Amino acid sequence: MTGSSTWTNAGALARTVEDQGFSGMLYTETGQVPWMQIAAAAMAAPSLTFTTGIAVAFPRSPMVSAQVAWELAGETKGKFRLGLGSQVKGHVVRRYSSDFDKPARRLLDYVLAVKACFKAFRGEERLNHEGDFYSLSLLPDAWKPRSHDFGEIKVDISSVGPLMNSVAGQVADGVHVHPMHSMHYIENRLLPEIEQGAQLAGRESSDVDLIVPVFAVAGDTAEERAPWVHRAKTQIAFYGTTPNYSFQFEDLGFEGVTTALRDKMGAGDLQGMADTISDDMLDHFALVSTWNEMADRLKDRYEGTASRVVMYLTEEQMRKDPESVDKWGEVARASRSKK
């Protein structure tokens, strides 16, 4: 997982990732759009797969998202999949000046609109999407993207709660699981809610891939792990301030955590926020192990559930601690091997 970067650095990072045995890269969208970084990375490391995790949907027309995804899929020879998300209302309305009403229904319509564009680009049918939120009906030949052989593009969405999880089951090819998750959440909330959505659409829940970011903290001593344990706790605490995520703690028996985190955030007590995340909580929301054990720990937790595991902190650690690069490469290669 990576975010804002210059094109030159994006290419260099991709070559390192490829050389170390990772299978692909996921790009977030924060202060920089992901598309150009992916193009630079794909040219530097053509064997990798690429996805957005996630690109913000609502500020863009479905046609705009479909066109850039089509181009990236063609240039990577099918190694790109489009990850979309709603973002939160404040960002969509106040930062992007876009509509956010009924986000679950809107994202469902958005995904269907993007897929309708892909069908039209492939020449399978005339563009004619009429949904509750989006209407697309014009695609003259002069504005139609050039054809290529990689038009079956996967469209994934980020989801947390039951409405969006149901949307994933109905129309998405995959789900970007929230980084702050436990296996209890995946098994008892996410998967059943995807199944319910799939049944509504006459699909199989197995049609929906799980793309799972993991707070993986590796080190052979507590001292070596300490800064990254703190980094993981800090990020989990930040996510945990969101009221809609409070159930993640409560389902595990940790009551009042979100309220405590919000109080500390309001007081500017960032260290106190991290300290609120106990080691017991961390055991649910992260994986902490020695270097030699990390690959097996990842397999034990996620094999058979996740279609793709994404290292949340690894790019940051590789950048700050060059000695970790080869170690994470060993983890990547071991994780991809059969048990």
Strands (E), the chain: 24-27, 49-52, 55-56, 80-85, 129-130, 135-136, 155-159, 174-177, 209-218, 286-289, 308-311
Label residue 193 exposed, middle or buried (CB < 10 Å: 0-12, 13-18, 19+): buried
pLDDT digits (tens, 9 = 90+) for 231-251: 999 999 999 999 999 999 999
Co-location of 68 and 94 in the same domain: yes
**Structure confidence at residue 191 (pLDDT):** 99
| Cα–Cα distance list, 144 to 66, 126, 128, 140, 147 (Å) | 11, 11, 14, 6, 9
Strands 135-136 and 129-130: antiparallel
Co-location of 251 and 327 in the same domain: yes
Tell me which of 192, 207, 222 is where a domain ends. 207
Nearest to 169 by CA among 133, 189, 193: 193
**Structure confidence at residue 168 (pLDDT):** 99
**Structure confidence at residue 81 (pLDDT):** 99
Tell me which of 145, 178, 207 is where a domain ends. 207
Longest dimension (CA), the chain: 62
Co-location of 152 and 270 in the same domain: no
> Residue 338: pLDDT band by 50, 70, 90 thresholds?
low
Determine the number of helices (DSSP H) and then strands (DSSP E) in the chain: 16, 11
Q: How far apart are CA 124 and CA 120, in angstroms?
A: 6
> Residue 339: pLDDT band by 50, 70, 90 thresholds?
low
pTM across the whole model: 0.96
Q: How far apart are CA 337 and CA 219, in angstroms?
A: 21
**Residue 202 is part of which domain span?**
53-207
Co-location of 238 and 303 in the same domain: yes
Residues 6+ apart with CB under 8 A from 161: 244
Tell me which of 169, 189, 207 is where a domain ends. 207
- DSSP conformational letter for 141: G
How many Cα atoms within 13 Å fall on the side-chain side of residue 229? Answer: 20
Q: Look up the CATH number of the domain holding residue 192.
A: 3.20.20.30
Q: How far apart are the first and last CA of the chain?
A: 24
Mean pLDDT over the full length of the chain: 98
Is residue 154 within 8 Å of 239, Cβ to Cβ? no
Co-location of 201 and 235 in the same domain: no
Co-location of 247 and 123 in the same domain: no
Co-location of 258 and 320 in the same domain: yes
pLDDT digits (tens, 9 = 90+) for 85-135: 999 999 999 999 999 999 999 999 999 999 999 999 999 999 999 999 999
Task: State the total domains in the chain.
Answer: 2
